[in-house]
Structure 1
Amino acid sequence: APLHPVMPALVEVYVNSILVINNKGTNEYFNKPITEEEIRRVFRNSIFGVNFDSQKKPFCPMEIDSGESSVEFNLEKPTLASQLLLIYYLLLYEDVRLSNAATLLANGRNIKSYSAAFLSELPIKYLLHQAQKDQMSYGGLFSPLLRLLATHFPQLSLVDDWMDYQVFGDYCRHQVDVNLSETSINEAFQNIETNPYKTGKILKAMLNKNPTDIWPFAEIFVRYVKSVLSDQVPRHIQEQYREVWLRLNTVLPRCLWIMTINALLDINGTAKNVTITQENVLVDPLQVLRCDIRVFRCGPILKIILRILEASLAASRSQLSRHLLDKPLLEKSG
């Protein structure tokens, strides 16, 4: 369903009613921000629902706010418009909050902040691409969303990523008679050196699917990235693996990056239980390079690592700017 042109303006008014202090009167009335749990409920009913399962979050943990009251409601499958409006609300809320952080702090207001871990779970990039494809319906929201994304999430605004998406959007798909399942993917990668043809068929089948259709297999797909590094694996299989990875990168890129970094970690005797998190990468983007040495001898996988490194450096710079805005220095009077 197309988006009503008044809705973005209503979201702006709502956000300002939460954060912007009105100096015209003595009585101040503020709306309450939407809780993280309420937002999760919307996306839990979408195609990304598995990523919001509180029982299964191996790579991208989200902290559930304690003490927050949430509204009980029954929600059917959310529309694209409702998801885009929620993303717009979140990005605009953080933008206005950071812009007014000094004023809010000076007035002693304790304002809710949405955590970076929570924001990293949301399919911001994927939804923005959907809005881009249907600008007749969502044109009024696409431009402000793109501006906010480029400002606060430059790691999701890389030129190469957008060009990749355009290529995938025009990709000519052919039906491949292969049953994609966790079992078939497991078997294909376990025999990648002895039977690369079988692995190639699985990878080709994944390339001929929509990115959202193969996202449920992302975890098991990334788990076998080290097996692709072997000298016995044909180059075209490595290239196909990279192409599938790039398709997955259009769905939930930040989750994919962390999964890939952890799967490629150079595990030795002193660091067997090390797991890199989003926060680790934001603080030190060079953690990305703590990978198996064979990566640097495998061109296609090295390209993946360099793409993650480029995005991580952009995210780290953005996080520093966010931190400076979030913790402003106030002048002491007297």
Structure 2
Amino acid sequence: MDRSSVLGRLLERDSYIDHQTILKYEESPSDESISGPRRHWLHDRMCAARLPLEPFIIKLIKSSIESSFSPWRPARVIPEGEIYALYSSMLTIEAKHVLMLYYIILFNERAYSDRKMISIQAPFSDSLANVIPIKSILGFAERHDGGKSFKLIFPHLASMVATQFLELWDSERFLDEEDLNLLATHDTTILAKDGITEVQPWKVLYHYEGELRALLSGFLSNPDVSLSEKRTFRRLWAHIGYTCPRELWMFTARVLCPGQGITQDSLINDPIQVLDCNTRVFDSDVLTRVLLETLRSFMLVSRYRIKRTLLNSSNPALSSQPQRENTEYALLSLQETEIIQRLLDICYQYRERESSVAIIYKFLHQLFINNPTYIKLVHFQGYRIELIKDTVKNIPSMHVCLDFVTELLKQPDEYHQSFGIHLMAQLAATYPIAKSLQILQDSVFHKIRSMTLRFLDYHEGQEPVSFETINSIIPTLSVIWQAFPFLQESITSVLKDLDEQIKSSKLKSRFKIYKVLNQTFQKISNPAEAAVRASQH
């Protein structure tokens, strides 16, 4: 009997098989006569695995995956239908569920390791993540028997999940301290309904859908809910998010963004759709936080999809890693700065809703911390000048603007120069440090002078400056003076220069500017008012 036949007999026997014999044949070139039985046997071996795991089963899984990507005769993989069946019947987590997750994640990692692999075997679909309680399984593997049961695979498994499911392993989750405590104590949290331990993990959202929908709808109609209702919602949100996060995000998006026709795939491809929500969301700090958590999660999934798509692209222009990285950065920065701009618009539009806007600023701060280059991109794109004071005050990472504000002031157009002056004035007010002082003395004062002169004495070929711009930049001198009172002489000198320019001008609108100039003079020269303003600042 040939070796393939012997292996086929061994694999189909429902009894103990010598580990060394199996490894010997698994590491040999395979043929199609045994690929079917091997797949079925591997599935059964995972289902029958005992704890602590033996090295053999891990090596067997790895060998099976490698043989699945053989360029000659690849072995068949475990069908997704069998995987769905395994998890859909799960009541409690067992070793087989951890091993099957390890198999799926390791298989996908191999598939995405080289674009040639995709042509041999397609990776498992993203939809599997909707039925596999990945976080629950990871928690089980980490804690079972003090971590001893799965020590052979847990570090590798956790690392792969962190790569393939960024949204599940996000160290910067946008949750407050109470939410984090709820997640940390998930296993001992007692929910309002009885029988939670009997609910299959993939059915948790279905089990609590009515209660969750009622809470979300209640917050929309009445944002001033009691603390107990907020806590009930947070406990429920933490529990469902721990078990089936993707389903929770999709459910939340559909409740908060009705009539948008969104799908999970469309939100992954274009996460900004999450912000096309019911405007009453921003009446509630709870809903604002939930919306941003949902947005952040889809942003993370989108990042991985973009990275994966570029890696597997057959476009010759993306053949090298630097080319892929540059394209990935360009795509992500375009997508995510658009989201930031939309959030800034929301902050301005709903500026009276202070608690919700404060949450959005905190979210923007996290985005800037994780992607510092976005700060420069967003400020060169620009946004409402009226919002600059609030962004500098409420986003701590805005101090980074001191590194590039001089570049803004050097831009040839009126908008960027005006934006830069307002930005630097507020930075000086918030960060009255030596670097701010240097920029004011070297760049800002000169820029205010030159822009005013261009307005008063415009010549063809110059970049024009509007009255509205001059009317807005002169008062910034009083803001600067409050930050650096000892600059009173320098600021007064600037104002006197402007006064002379205005007097010698023949423009009719010069009298309006003169009024603003006098008001700024009075603010700086009135000690009583200055003291009050300084104490308020």
Q: Give the TM-score normalised by structure 1.
A: 0.68
Residue 124 (1) aligns with residue 134 (2): yes
AA aligned opposite 1:84: V
Residue 227 (1) aligns with residue 218 (2): yes
Aligned to 2:169: 157
TM alignment of 1:24-63, pairs within 5 A: 28-47=72-91
Check the 8 A contact 2:272/2:295 in 1, yes or no. Answer: yes
AA aligned opposite 2:114: N
Check the 8 A contact 1:88/1:145 in 2, yes or no. Answer: yes
Question: Which secondary structure state, in structure 1, belongs to the residue aligned with residue 150 of structure 2?
Answer: helix
Aligned-residue offset at 1:126: 1.6
CA change 1:207–1:168 in 2 (3 A) is farther
Check the 8 A contact 1:282/1:312 in 2, yes or no. Answer: yes
Question: Which secondary structure state, in structure 2, belongs to the residue aligned with residue 137 of structure 1?
Answer: coil
Query: How many aligned positions are there?
Result: 255
Provide the C-alpha distance between the structure 1 equivalents of 2:249 and 2:189, rounded to a whole number of angstroms: 27
Aligned to 2:233: 241
Aligned-residue offset at 1:244: 1.4
Provide the C-alpha distance between the structure 2 equivalents of 1:330 and 1:9, rounded to a whole number of angstroms: 36
Check the 8 A contact 1:120/1:254 in 2, yes or no. Answer: yes
AA aligned opposite 1:257: W
More helix by share: 2
AA aligned opposite 1:261: A
Aligned-residue offset at 1:235: 3.8
Provide the C-alpha distance between the structure 1 equivalents of 2:262 and 2:124, rounded to a whole number of angstroms: 21
AA aligned opposite 1:276: I
Aligned-residue offset at 1:281: 1.1
Check the 8 A contact 1:214/1:248 in 2, yes or no. Answer: yes
Aligned to 1:4: 54
Provide the C-alpha distance between the structure 1 equivalents of 2:127 and 2:314, rounded to a whole number of angstroms: 22
AA aligned opposite 2:211: F
Check the 8 A contact 2:93/2:140 in 1, yes or no. Answer: no
- Per-residue CA shift, 1:270-294, capped at 9, x if unaligned? x4xx432210111111122222222
1:252 corresponds to which of 244, 257, 270: 244
Moved more, 3-12 or 157-166: 157-166
TM alignment of 1:238-317, pairs within 5 A: 238-265=230-257, 267=258, 271=259, 274-317=260-303
Provide the C-alpha distance between the structure 2 equivalents of 1:207 and 1:41, rounded to a whole number of angstroms: 26
AA aligned opposite 2:217: K
Aligned to 2:13: none
CA change 1:236–1:292 in 2 (3 A) is farther
1:133 corresponds to which of 137, 143, 154: 143
- Per-residue CA shift, 1:107-134, capped at 9, x if unaligned? xx44233222233332222211111111
Check the 8 A contact 2:88/2:131 in 1, yes or no. Answer: no
Q: Give the TM-score normalised by structure 2.
A: 0.44
- Per-residue CA shift, 1:20-77, capped at 9, x if unaligned? 54xxxxxx33211111111112112213xxxxxxxxxxxxxxxxxxxxxxxxxxxxxx
Provide the C-alpha distance between the structure 2 equivalents of 1:167 and 1:113, rounded to a whole number of angstroms: 32
2:185 corresponds to which of 168, 178, 195: 168
Structure of higher CA gyration radius? 2
Check the 8 A contact 2:182/2:189 in 1, yes or no. Answer: no
Aligned-residue offset at 1:137: 0.9
- Per-residue CA shift, 1:231-285, capped at 9, x if unaligned? 45324312321221111100010011101110111x4xxx4xx432210111111
Aligned-residue offset at 1:305: 1.5
Aligned to 1:65: none
C-alpha RMSD over aligned residues = 2.8
TM alignment of 1:179-198, pairs within 5 A: none
Aligned to 1:90: 104
Aligned to 1:142: 154
Check the 8 A contact 1:242/1:304 in 2, yes or no. Answer: no
AA aligned opposite 2:67: S
Could you tell me the percent identity over the aligned residues? 24
CA change 1:36–1:206 in 2 (3 A) is same
Provide the C-alpha distance between the structure 2 equivalents of 1:207 and 1:303, rounded to a whole number of angstroms: 28
Question: Which secondary structure state, in structure 1, belongs to the residue aligned with residue 73 of structure 2?
Answer: coil
Check the 8 A contact 2:114/2:312 in 1, yes or no. Answer: no
Provide the C-alpha distance between the structure 1 equivalents of 2:295 and 2:164, rounded to a whole number of angstroms: 18
CA change 1:164–1:276 in 2 (3 A) is farther
Check the 8 A contact 1:222/1:263 in 2, yes or no. Answer: no
- Per-residue CA shift, 1:73-129, capped at 9, x if unaligned? xxxxx862111111111111111111122x346xxx442332222333322222111
Check the 8 A contact 1:121/1:252 in 2, yes or no. Answer: yes
Provide the C-alpha distance between the structure 2 equivalents of 1:291 and 1:9, rounded to a whole number of angstroms: 49
Check the 8 A contact 1:264/1:292 in 2, yes or no. Answer: yes
Structure with bigger RCO (C-alpha 8 Å, 6+ apart) = 1
Question: Which secondary structure state, in structure 1, belongs to the residue aligned with residue 185 of structure 2?
Answer: helix
Aligned-residue offset at 1:217: 2.2
CA change 1:165–1:241 in 2 (3 A) is closer
CA change 1:8–1:247 in 2 (3 A) is same
